[in-house]
């Protein structure tokens, strides 16, 4: 990643394989970007991994890269190329109905402590 250089701000670049990788029992989370205004995490998760419906005070968006992802207790099942955005206060949750692992890119704006929560658990 790149930041200030010689007093000028530069774009931040996160290339394939970059980021902090955390392997968990049913998922792998890679923090690709960690800024107060925005954090972006790549998550690969098994069919045993699920996040129950909940709300936040920030924007939470997810882009499906691989596999199928079921949102809001089965209300929507989406395929790769789909973007889901939950504005502040919108109820959302997800799980992987299978087969195989799913991979998504999740954006939190602002970060709201999610990157640190991943590091601490």
pLDDT per residue as tens digits for the range 15-66: 999 999 999 999 999 999 999 999 999 999 999 998 889 988 999 999 999 9
- 1 part of a folded domain: no
Provide the mean pLDDT of the chain. 89
120: helix, strand or coil: helix
Strand-strand pairing, 59-66 and 102-109: antiparallel
- 24 part of a folded domain: yes
7, β-bridge pairs: none
Diameter of the chain measured on Cα atoms = 51
- 40 part of a folded domain: yes
- 8 part of a folded domain: no
Q: Give the span between the Cα atoms of 35 and 3, in whole angstroms.
A: 11
Per-residue confidence (pLDDT) for residue 75, from 0 to 100: 75
Is residue 93 over pLDDT 60? yes
Mean pLDDT of 92-105: 93
Per-residue confidence (pLDDT) for residue 40, from 0 to 100: 97
pTM: 0.86
- 3 part of a folded domain: no
- 6 part of a folded domain: no
Tokens found for residue 87: 């504005």
- 10 part of a folded domain: no
């Amino acid at each position: 990643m790149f930041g200030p250089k010689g007093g000028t701000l530069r774009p931040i670049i996160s290339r394939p394989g970059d980021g902090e990788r955390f392997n968990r029992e049913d998922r792998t989370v890679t923090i690709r970007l960690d800024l107060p205004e925005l954090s972006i995490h790549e998550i690969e998760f098994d069919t045993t991994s699920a996040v129950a419906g909940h709300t936040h005070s920030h924007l939470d968006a997810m882009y499906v890269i691989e596999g199928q992802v079921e949102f809001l207790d089965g209300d929507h099942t989406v395929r790769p190329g789909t973007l889901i955005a939950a504005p502040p206060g919108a109820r959302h949750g997800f799980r992987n109905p299978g087969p195989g692992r799913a991979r998504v890119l999740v954006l939190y704006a602002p970060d709201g402590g999610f990157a640190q929560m991943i590091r601490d658990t």
